[in-house]
Chain A
């Protein structure tokens, strides 16, 4: 037995090897195509940063003492975290369903909770890896200060968990790739673009401010941004409660779907 094998035997008890293996497989799955799953979203976010900051910097001032380019970065990071967390769980599940290899997981003794845990953690990890890469590259462009790091961590974790869970629901529900595209194009994309990534909702007319407050992405972006600048459109604690509650509700729905075998076991 190799040294590495001995180490992994010590660390992972047989009781947790099942979910750990599924998590490891899900992480390797996105890492094997890292150019598509990590590098591409980082480049996209940097292009947004380049274009919007070039066009709007000097014309728009959202918070006092915060240049527009700096204002933009937390929103872009969080938007990418959320989109990639959703993409990870949803694309893995729909691919496995369409190709038929989900059967390898369904035949195992993994519980519905372990299944959920593994897909959720993989989604969170991909979201955080993409977000961290954008942050590291953006640091070279703009000087960004962090005022409440725990707030940043809390919103990044809860936001990616919420979207990762939503991705599991979408992956279970959809039977075809075009059904998955409906989620991406008609839910995730509009909600993330209309969440205040590029602007403060206080710059909108009152009616659209109210509409924006119905968008869960708004709370995740605003709370995450609060961690950087110590100012936001709404109290971060309210945002944290809304995001946390939304995650719990979606997690319960997902666990119920998995336990009943909805669309997975006839």
Chain B
């Protein structure tokens, strides 16, 4: 079985800027994959190359075995992309836009049942005959997602789909996307809401300055990069240099340390004892994806 997405040594130059520096990545069919990274890491450039909107300087990408440049028609048939920008066509209503979008991919009236299912699933059924111009921001976002799904693509890429939308929509959207994933669709997600990626995705790739700096299952990443999170309330003190490497954050006298194992708790406490620093309060939590993200890409 061909992988859903195979990215092979992709480079992209914009003048002097080397935006993508030899990305290699394979996403299997049926995966729920998160692509994370700070702004400017190259996520959107990579997705645009996948979508055929940007041409790669070198390397190749295929969708279920079809090259996105030389076999673009077959590759795009299999791909549904939700763009990051909130764009719409002001001349048409929601149902018309979905029918057009399905039509571009060769689907006719036989696809109407699926269009109805998408409208229902995204809570757009009662807005089907509303002009795109008259929709609220959240509704426009739903319509944008619906458009990407109109031709029932097996591989779905969501580029920041929940940026600026309310909690209710996010919940509804994720329920619908999870159902699509259960039905066999491959989902690739970029998001700034790391808790979403942690809750939904089985595998995570993290990008930094045009490179993949981490690629593993979500569980492995959490274990590998930040096992525990120790929050100590110490007040207004100077932290001894021996434990600076473990420090991940500091705010109003509360210091957060990322620990790879339990033995490091004793190390931190003994250093503080030696420095005669009193621990006012202590909390020990499991680390989350945000800690992994910060430890990998946040220290710039």
Contacts and interface: CB of A to CB of B under 8 A. Distances in A.
Interface residues of B, number: 37
B53 A25 contact: no
Contacts of B110: 1, 5, 9
B109 interface: yes
Contacts of A6: 109
B164 interface: no
Contacts of A136: none
B52 interface: yes
Contact of B89 (A17, A22, A101, A110): A101
Interface in A1-31: 1-2, 5-6, 8-9, 12, 14-15, 17-18, 20-22, 24-25, 28-29
A187 interface: no
A156 B210 CA distance: 53
B87 A99 contact: yes
A101 B87 CA distance: 6
A105 interface: yes
Given A28-B91, A101-B87, A106 B108 contact: no
A101 B88 contact: yes
A134 to B, nearest CB: 25
Interface in A107-163: 107-111
Contacts of B147: 104
A106 B103 contact: no
A108 B105 contact: yes
Which secondary structure dominates chain A's binding surface? helix
A96 B100 CA distance: 15
Contacts of B77: 109
A266 interface: yes
A261 B55 contact: yes
B92 to A, nearest CB: 7
Contact of B104 (A22, A33, A96): A22
A32 interface: yes
Contact of B73 (A100, A103, A111): A111
Nearest to B90: A99
Interface string A241-266: 00000000000000000000100011
B104 A110 contact: yes
B107 A109 contact: no
A179 B210 CA distance: 35
A217 to B, nearest CB: 30
A108 B103 CA distance: 10
Nearest to B87: A100
Contact of A21 (B54, B55, B89, B100): B100
Contacts of A22: 100, 104
A9 B107 CA distance: 10
B72 interface: yes
A12 B99 CA distance: 15
B128 to A, nearest CB: 16
A20 B107 CA distance: 11
A265 B53 contact: yes
A108 B150 CA distance: 12
Contact of A105 (B51, B55, B104, B106): B104
B104 A103 contact: no
A265 B73 contact: no
B44 to A, nearest CB: 12
B108 A17 contact: yes
Interface in A60-117: 96, 99-101, 103-111
Given A21-B103, A25-B100, A103 B53 contact: yes
A15 B97 CA distance: 20
Interface string A36-75: 0000000000000000000000000000000000000000
A18 B87 contact: no
Contact of B106 (A5, A9, A17): A17
Contacts of B104: 18, 21-22, 104-105, 108-110
Given A8-B109, A109-B72, A17 B103 contact: yes
Given A5-B109, A15-B106, A21-B100, A106 B90 contact: no
Given A100-B87, A104-B147, A109 B108 contact: no
A14 B96 CA distance: 18
B74 interface: yes
B81 interface: yes
Nearest to A105: B104
A98 B96 CA distance: 21
A14 B108 contact: yes
B103 A265 contact: no
Given A9-B108, A110-B104, A266 B53 contact: yes
Given A9-B110, A21-B100, A265-B52, A104 B89 contact: yes
Interface of B: 14, 48, 51-55, 72-74, 76-77, 79, 81, 83, 85, 87-92, 96-97, 99-101, 103-110, 112, 147
Given A20-B103, A109-B105, 5 more contacts: A18-B103, A18-B104, A24-B103, A33-B91, A108-B76
18 contacts: A1-B112, A2-B109, A8-B108, A14-B106, A14-B107, A17-B106, A17-B108, A18-B103, A18-B106, A100-B87, A101-B88, A104-B87, A105-B104, A106-B53, A107-B76, A108-B105, A109-B74, A265-B53
